[in-house]
Amino acid sequence: MSWEEIKNCDPLMITKLPVKQKIIRDTIKLLKTQPIMRWNGKQSIHLPPKQGRALENQLEETVNSAVSEIRGMIACPGKVEGEVVVINKMSEFEKMKPGKILVTVMTRPEFVPLMKKAAGIITDEGGITSHAAVISRELKVPCVIGTQAATKKLKDGDKVFLKADHGIVILK
């Protein structure tokens, strides 16, 4: 049986392959249970789930430390430099102080008092007609939306330069 034939098989059919094709079945099982592979200099080796997750975390940390900017869409143009406050839930609202840059997954009507205090706004989600985009334009507060990673990459107290004219957040 060729690789092309295997790729087109129903998964149940693959499990019923003849015993002489045990290598294929074992390989498929290995890929299901240990999908992370690492090159050891000579060959690819499959990692057990715990090691695979550790490698993924290590790679993510390496990438995150190398990233010096976050990109999104322009919601309201402007430039501002300041300190970040990450708000993930309503119980964190008291963290927001005037002049800080609000970072959140997305805004809702209850965020408006925070948005009025903000020197800038950054969201993970949202489009040009999202709540954050509309309110930031009304308030004339520089805003970048749809970054997909701001709440993961930025922490309270981080210094950033928000270039909302270009949809860029530069980490200082």
Distance CA 99, CA 1 (A): 66
**Using one digit for the tens of pLDDT, what is the confidence trace for 5-63?**
666 666 666 666 665 566 666 666 666 676 677 777 887 777 777 887 887 788 777 76
Q: Given a cut of 60, is residue 1 above it in pLDDT?
A: no
Same domain? For 151 and 83 the reply is yes
Q: Is the pLDDT of residue 3 over 80?
A: no
pLDDT of residue 48: 78
Regarding predicted confidence, which is higher, 87 or 11? 87
Q: Considering 22, 50, 66, which residue would you say is the last residue of a domain? A: 66
Looking at the structure, tell me whether residues 88 and 160 fall in a common domain.
Answer: yes
Tell me: do 44 and 78 sit in the same domain.
no
For residue 53, the enclosing domain spans 3-66
DSSP strands (E only) in 1-128:
37-39, 44-46, 69-71, 73-76, 79-86, 101-104, 120-123
> Does 100 share its domain with 128?
yes
Per the model's pLDDT, the better-predicted residue between 79 and 65 turns out to be: 79
57 plus 74 within the same structural domain: no
Catalytically annotated residue among 131, 137, 152, 166: 131
Same domain? 22 vs 98: no
Residue 162 and residue 89 share a domain: yes
- Domain final position from 66, 89, 105: 66
Let me know whether 165 and 92 are in one domain: yes
Single residue among 66, 96, 114 that ends a domain in this structure: 66
State residue 124 phi and psi, 5-degree precision.
Answer: -75, -40
Stated pTM of the model: 0.67
pLDDT of res. 59? 77
Q: Does residue 102 sit in the same domain as residue 35? A: no
Q: Is 131 a catalytic residue?
A: yes
Please check whether residues 62 and 94 belong to one and the same domain.
no
Who has greater pLDDT, 136 or 171?
Answer: 136
Q: How far apart are CA 103 and CA 86, in angstroms?
A: 5
74 or 45: whose pLDDT is higher? Answer: 74
Total Cβ atoms within 10 A of residue 26: 10
Name the percent of the chain lying above pLDDT 90: 57
